[in-house]
Structure formats: C-alpha cells, structure tokens
Chains A and B, each alone.
Chain A
Amino acid sequence: MAEPQRARPKPTPETQHFWDGTKAGELRLQRCDACAHVYFPPRPFCPSCASRKVSVFKASGKGFLYSYVINHRPAAPGFTPPYAIAVVELAEGPRMMSNIIDCPQTPEALELDMKLEVAFEALDDKITLPVFRPAKG
C-alpha cells in the first residue's frame, strides 16, 4: 500500500503563475496597477478596487509569524504529529498559511512575531510548496 500523501494542490488558470513561481524558486504576489493594493490568494482582478489591471511580482519572501497551532491529532495524511500549521504575514502585507521548517515544533521555539523567510519544498515535478524558516541574522 502506498504511503498516505500530503494534499497536492491542483492549479487553476488563475493560480498557475503562483505555482510556476514556486517551482522557479520565487514567491509571486499580485499588485493592483490602479490602487497599488497587494493581495493573495491569486486572482486576475483587484479585490480592493475591482480593477482588472494587475501585475504579478516577485515578493521578498520575508515575513513574520502571525499565529499558529501545533496539531497533535488527528494528523493529516503525510504529516507526523506534532506539527505546526502557521499563518505568516508577508512583508508586502498579505498573509498565507504555511509550515515552519528548521525549527522545533514547540511553543517555546515558535514565538509569535519571529522573523521568517521563504523556502521551497518540491512535492513532485509539478508542485513546489512555499514554506518558511526562521530568518538568518
């Protein structure tokens, strides 16, 4: 029997640029050309002013730990508990769910507001997930 697998994202036409970005080692966000609003998750219009003129850009990959849980049970397929499910606030403003790597999955090690930087974890040849690690320096 195959090992249970971590849930695999399936891109849509509106999100393909994001997943192309992570595969290329870039965290891509969108910015509205009309009102400069930066947003996530991807969509081809601005959720603040409704303009369809928006641009994709490479984000800094920097952020901080906004909140999290350390999940013990039940564990999702492909995960060994306990593991943290985090929400990262990016330097550009939007927040995204992620995991924190290179860090003990404990309340002592996972301090709210700690600085984080993006890393990339290839799940297969199509999908690379953005995850975060404690920022160096």
Chain B
Amino acid sequence: MRKNQVAVVGAAETTELGVIPNMSQLQLHADAALNAIADAGLKLSDIDGFATAVETPQQVCHYLGIKPTWVDGTSVGGCSFMLHVRHAAAAIEAGLCKTVLITHAESGKSMIGKAPRSIPADSLQGQFEAPYGVYGPPSMFPIPVLRFMKTYGITHEQLASVAVVQREWAAKNPRAMMKDPITVADVLNSRMIAYPFRLLQCCLVTDGGGALILTSADRARDFPRKPVYIMGTGESVETPMVSQMETFNSSRAFKTAGPLAFKEAGIAHGDVDHLMIYDAFAHLPLFGLGDLGFMPHEETGSFIADGNTRPGGKLPLNTNGGGLSYMHSGMYGMYALQESVRQMRGIAPAQVPNAKISVCHGVGGMFAASGTIVFTNER
C-alpha cells in the first residue's frame, strides 16, 4: 500500500466512558458513530464503507441506517480496529468505497446487550486449555510473563513501574477512569489476581466505544478537522491458544505487524514522536518495545522504570493512561487509535508538543493477533 493516500477525517469516542448502565452495546456503537460523523461534518448517507468487530456489520449498519458497498467484519480481538484501518485504506485506494466508518463498542462492565464469551468444549482451547482452570484474560494473558522475566532479567518492580507511569499520564486526562497517583509499592501491594500480576497491573473493565472515519487523502483537505494520514500499516495472527505461542520471549504477531508498518511508512524508530502499545496487562508495553524493535527486550524494563516513557520523557507512551488507567471495555484497540489521532490533531489532553509521527500498536486475544498503524499529520 502507498503511504499517506488515506486519512482519518472523523474520530470520536462515546459521549460517556466508564460505567454506562443506560445504553446497550449496540447503542454504544451508534453513539460513537454519530459522534464521529458529526466530527467529520458528514451525513450518514455519505458512509459507503463499514467495518466493526464482535457485532456483525449487518447488525450495526442496519441499526444506523447505513447502506454500504464495502464491509469488513474482521474480529480478531482488541486490535481488530487496527486491521480495519489497514483494510479500509486498501479498499479506498482500490476504489471499492470512498468513506469508511469503523465502530467499536462494548458494554464490558454493565453487560447490556452483550453476548457472553464462551469456549466450546470441543474446540482446541476447550480441550487443551479450559480444563486447566483458565478463566478470562487475567488467567491467560500473563502466562508468558515469568518466562519473559527470566529470559531478559526483568524485575517485578520494573513491571510495576508500567502502571505507575501510565497513571501519571492518566492524571492529565479528565476522561481517564483512574487519576490518583500510585507508587511501585502501591502496585506490588495491590490485591493478587494471577501471580505475578496484581490488580494495578491488570486493565480496567469499563463500558464505552469509539468510531473512526477514513477517506482518500485528496478528499481529506475539504473536511473540518486536520487530516491524520495513514502512513504505514501491518497485521498478523499467531494462535488463539496462549500455550501454543512459538515462544514466550516475544510475540510472533507483534514481530510481523510492527516491522511491516515501519517499512511501509519508511520511518526509523528515532522518527517516532508518540507511541501507543495496547496494555491490557503490564507486560505488553515491554513485549511491544522489544518486538517493534525500539530496543533489545533486556532493556525494556529499565527503559520504562527509568522514566523514558513518562510525561516529558523521550518516548511518550500510552499518553491517555492506557488500558490500565484510561479505560478498557474489553477491546481497547479503538481507544489507542483515538489517542493517536488526538495527538496528531494536536488536541490530546496530555499533548506531546510538535508530535508529527504516532505509532499505534494493538494486540488481540492473548497474543493471538496484532495490528500496527503509523499515523502522521504531514503529507
């Protein structure tokens, strides 16, 4: 795909974030979509391409009254929306549609109109993982972390510092769920969830949604907001079974998606002004920094603990507070994308001065999938 041919011209989250007991999951999709359409200055009838995950495209399109000529229902977990951006950019470039709406919504906390996630007993996960007591992401996602720590000499304190630094970012964000400062000791004394991870190293569980609107860069100039260009993209999947990852020392999906996006964008790591790495749990930024090639994995723990990713640090990371402190409805990728777009528009609550290139890296499932988007505000 050629870089900077497609742009984000509309971006918005749901009107409320956090606990939203008065809206179903489907209405959260609509709320986010209508906000993004208003943000772009468009009408519903202008949308001719649509993508979403978990809910089907037909469900959300019919509810909204959209009549698309191109749809994408890729549903690979929380990074599905990074993949939607990539697919939408390709579709727009190929002329399959002109204006794509991507929505995410999840009633993750209130569970209104949300189908329960279940693992069929005759699936491979049902036969070879479920019988051993896995029960939701906290019991599965951290399974690789002890091996990763031993291989690279990462400490419990360094992993705790991920939550501490992100709380510093969240404190600057009025929409963040958790804003009170925390220390490494607070993290290490919080309730044990799944050793080695404690409560403050696990993501929040909230309600919310978000939506993006993409069109060709040539048309983007006519929109009210500053266009944010898609500079590079990458995606991959590995395995739905965390136990079957090629190694616990890195993620194969990360190592495929990240470099693809950097190559397409034609950038080096030193060019990155702003970085989002989907943080469902505290180890993900360490995997991401290593697998995306910012530094050897051995250095990722001290890099964060030493303050390089905090406000004023040389590599601002997860500047909305992340899944650990901002919000996490279950599929956080959309919120990471929203923060990258805000940073590129120059309107983020914790704005990185003069940021021109933002990398947004997502994970789906328990390292099952990955998508990476490089954004820029210069064409």
Contacts and interface: CB of A to CB of B under 8 A. Distances in A.
Contact of A10 (B126, B150, B193, B248): B126
Contacts of A9: 121-122, 126-128, 130-131
Interface string B240-280: 01111000100000000000000000000000000000000
A6 B122 contact: no
Contacts of B143: 67-69, 85, 87
B197 interface: yes
| Secondary structure type dominating chain A contacts | loop
A119 interface: no
Interface of B: 119-122, 124, 126-136, 138-140, 142-147, 150, 191-197, 241-244, 248
Contacts of B130: 7, 9, 76
B127 A10 contact: yes
B243 A15 contact: no
A67 B248 contact: yes
Contact of A6 (B124, B131, B142): B131
B128 A99 contact: no
A98 B130 CA distance: 10
Of all A-B residue pairs in the complex, the 10 with the closest CB atoms, nearest first, are: A76-B135, A67-B147, A9-B127, A70-B195, A7-B130, A10-B122, A97-B243, A10-B121, A69-B194, A76-B133
A96 interface: yes
Contacts of B132: 85-86, 97-99, 129
B147 A76 contact: no
A76 B192 CA distance: 16
Given A11-B122, A87-B243, A107 B131 contact: no
Nearest to A73: B193
Q: Categorize the interface residue count of chain A.
A: 35 or more
B128 to A, nearest CB: 5
Interface of A: 6-12, 15, 19, 40-41, 66-79, 82-83, 85-87, 95-99, 107, 112, 123, 129
B122 A72 contact: no
Contacts of A11: 122, 127
A70 B131 contact: no
Nearest to A112: B150
B194 A71 contact: yes
B124 A72 contact: no
Given A10-B121, A15-B127, 5 more contacts: A9-B130, A66-B147, A75-B133, A78-B133, A87-B242
Contacts of A129: 131-132
Given A10-B121, A76-B139, A71 B126 contact: no
A77 B121 CA distance: 14
B368 to A, nearest CB: 15
Nearest to B136: A74
A69 B139 contact: yes
A68 B195 CA distance: 8
A99 B122 CA distance: 20
A79 B147 contact: no
B125 to A, nearest CB: 9
Contacts of A8: 121, 131
Given A9-B121, A67-B146, A97-B128, A76 B134 contact: yes
A121 to B, nearest CB: 10
A110 to B, nearest CB: 9
A87 B133 CA distance: 12
Nearest to A129: B131
Nearest to B194: A69
Contacts of B129: 97
Contacts of A123: 131
A129 B128 CA distance: 9
A79 B134 CA distance: 10
Given A7-B126, A9-B128, A41-B244, A97 B134 contact: yes
16 contacts: A9-B128, A9-B131, A40-B244, A41-B128, A66-B147, A68-B143, A69-B139, A69-B146, A71-B138, A73-B138, A79-B133, A83-B133, A85-B134, A85-B194, A98-B132, A107-B195
Contacts of A19: 127
B150 A85 contact: no
Contact of A67 (B120, B133, B139, B145): B145
A74 to B, nearest CB: 6
Of B121, B127, B129, most buried by chain A (CB within 10 Å of CB) is B127
A86 to B, nearest CB: 8
A75 B128 contact: no
